[in-house]
């Protein structure tokens, strides 16, 4: 089971919610399954056709071979859709007790009351709770589950859903997602509107040998500002499961969006996602992420700077423990003049874990005056672990400024010894060094989430997660 922390007592507690599924698809993929999912959801015809088209694309594409070893991922062993049968509600008291107990232990209702403008909670394959505070509803902000948005806001969704941002032809797992997606969140912020509290989605995977495929669509219209926070956890089993999400973010001229995610997957999860933003003129996109747990992670948030003066900032932390391979990084495409990007990646490898930074920077023809800075730092906790960097820089325009820096090093024995002479234990000294290493990223998180990420890192240091 996943191990969580009760903040009041700082004791480890185990929890999970075994539910009786009202309908569960057979294992494996087929056109019949795709049609069944669409029928279960009572979707419009255009979405049903889109799913089937995506399935055909998935079938035609080979498995990627350029990154981590995916040979252990067997699609025939997975169940791709597992609705709980719980009715979606906008009142927390109406959430079934067995599901509510899980989210109460994760702190979701408390966080909503204190720190958030709204919450979407997804349990396995389906949304079970949607909430937005009244003052933000009055501003015209739309925040709901993706499933609800398909029916309630079809014009907006159909125009944006896996068209220009992440088409199903992008890669094999994007095509898989297009065929079997379920759950996720939808946010639309009207022009010249500032959302001063974050909106949050929380995704929980309960079953074994399952796939979850939530879809996130964020649209921040011209001159607006919004923050979105996403959290993910899963129970631990001895068999593999798959998480393959798609995130599509549209940042209109002069707008500002921040996407923050803290993922704490169990060590049997293949975490294979596609996340991308289209950033228009004078707009600003920020990605802040923390990746813990999972057996294999392939995650490279991408920013397309398509408007003059657009900016993207990518900040990420990844922790690879025993038996884990974290292949992450960022992609930035400068497709317009005077665009700016900054990528800061911090990765930690311990007890034979394998971490890597894979980054793509492309300066397109005509993107003159652009500036880009990439820094990827790796920290090895022992001689058994591995940390790699794979930078790919493609420059097709003169009159641009590019900086790149990569470092990989062992934790300093001298620093550990010095801190121990000041009264710290060896584990406390190492934790302090690691917290200092990741501080440039955690300082960008809201206080509650920075504390959560630091605590998760401390648990990884103790070998207590996964």
pLDDT values of the chain reduced to their tens digit, one per residue, 466 residues = 333 333 333 333 333 444 334 456 678 999 999 999 999 889 999 999 999 999 999 999 999 988 899 999 999 999 888 775 545 445 555 555 555 555 555 455 455 444 444 455 555 555 444 555 677 778 898 988 899 999 999 999 999 999 999 999 999 999 999 999 998 889 999 999 998 877 777 666 555 678 889 999 999 999 999 988 887 554 444 356 898 999 999 999 999 999 988 777 777 889 999 999 999 999 999 998 888 778 999 999 999 999 999 999 999 888 898 999 999 999 999 999 999 999 999 998 989 999 999 999 999 999 999 999 999 999 898 889 999 989 899 999 999 999 999 888 888 778 788 788 888 887 778 777 877 787 777 777 665 556 656 666 666 666 533 3
CB-based burial of residue 394 (10 Å sphere; 0-12 exposed, 13-18 middle, 19+ buried)?
exposed
Assess contact for 178 and 51: CB atoms under 8 A. Answer: yes
How far is Cα 168 from Cα 182, in angstroms, rounded to an integer? 15
Q: What is the DSSP string of 91-129?
A: SGGGS-HHHHHHHHHHTHHHHHHHH-SEEEEEETTEEEE
Task: State the residue range of the domain holding 371.
Answer: 3-462
Q: Please check whether residue 226 is in contact with residue 192, taking contact to mean a CB–CB distance below 8 angstroms.
A: no
In the chain, the N- to C-terminal Cα span, in Å, equals 8
- Single out the residue of 255, 308, 243 nearest to residue 286, CA to CA: 255
Helices (H) and strands (E) in the chain, counts: 11, 25
What is the Cα–Cα distance from 381 to 353, expressed in whole angstroms?
10
Task: Tell me, rounded to whole angstroms, the distance of Cα 358 from its chain centroid.
Answer: 16
Task: Say what the pLDDT of residue 425 is.
Answer: 81
Tally of structural domains, the chain: 1
């Amino acid at each position: 089971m996943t191990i969580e922390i009760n903040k009041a007592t700082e004791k480890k507690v185990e929890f999970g919610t075994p539910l009786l599924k009202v309908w569960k698809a057979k294992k494996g993929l087929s056109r019949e399954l795709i049609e069944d999912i669409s029928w279960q959801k009572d979707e419009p015809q255009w979405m049903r056709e889109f799913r089937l088209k995506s399935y055909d694309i998935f079938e035609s594409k080979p498995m990627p071979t350029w990154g981590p070893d995916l040979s252990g991922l067997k699609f025939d062993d997975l169940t791709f859709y597992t609705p709980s049968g719980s009715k979606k509600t906008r009142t927390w008291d109406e959430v079934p007790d067995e599901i509510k107990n899980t989210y109460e232990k994760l702190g979701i209702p408390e966080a909503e009351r204190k720190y958030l403008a709204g919450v979407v909670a997804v349990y396995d394959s389906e949304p079970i709770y949607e909430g937005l505070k009244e003052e933000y509803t009055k501003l015209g902000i739309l925040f709901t589950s993706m499933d609800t948005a398909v029916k309630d806001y079809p014009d907006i969704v159909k125009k944006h859903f896996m068209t220009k941002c992440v088409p199903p032809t992008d890669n094999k797992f994007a095509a898989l997602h297009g065929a079997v997606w379920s759950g996720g969140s939808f946010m639309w912020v009207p022009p010249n509107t500032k959302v001063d509290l974050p909106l949050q989605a929380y995704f929980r995977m309960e079953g074994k040998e399952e796939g979850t495929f939530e879809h996130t669509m964020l649209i921040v219209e011209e001159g607006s500002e919004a923050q979105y926070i996403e959290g993910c956890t899963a129970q631990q089993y001895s068999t593999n499961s798959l998480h393959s999400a798609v995130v599509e973010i549209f940042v209109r001229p002069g707008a500002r969006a921040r996407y923050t995610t803290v993922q704490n997957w169990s060590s049997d999860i293949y975490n294979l996602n596609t996340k991308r933003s289209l950033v228009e003129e004078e707009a600003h996109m920020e990605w802040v992420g923390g990746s813990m747990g999972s057996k294999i992670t392939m995650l490279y948030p991408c920013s397309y700077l398509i408007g003059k003066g657009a900016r993207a900032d990518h900040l990420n932390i990844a922790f690879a423990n025993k038996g884990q391979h974290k292949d992450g990084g960022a992609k930035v495409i400068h497709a317009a003049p005077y665009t700016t990007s900054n990528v800061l990646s911090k990765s930690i490898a311990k007890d034979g874990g394998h971490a890597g930074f894979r980054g793509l920077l492309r300066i397109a023809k005509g993107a003159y005056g652009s500036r880009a800075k990439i820094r990827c730092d790796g920290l090895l906790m022992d001689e058994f672990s591995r940390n790699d960097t794979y930078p790919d820089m493609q420059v097709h325009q003169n009159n641009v400024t590019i900086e790149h820096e990569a470092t990989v090093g062992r934790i300093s024995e001298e620093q550990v010894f010095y801190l121990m002479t000041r009264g710290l234990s060896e584990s406390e000294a190492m934790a302090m060094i690691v917290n200092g290493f990741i501080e440039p990223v955690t300082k960008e998180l809201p206080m509650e989430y920075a504390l959560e990420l630091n605590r998760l890192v401390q648990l990884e240091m103790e070998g207590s997660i996964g």
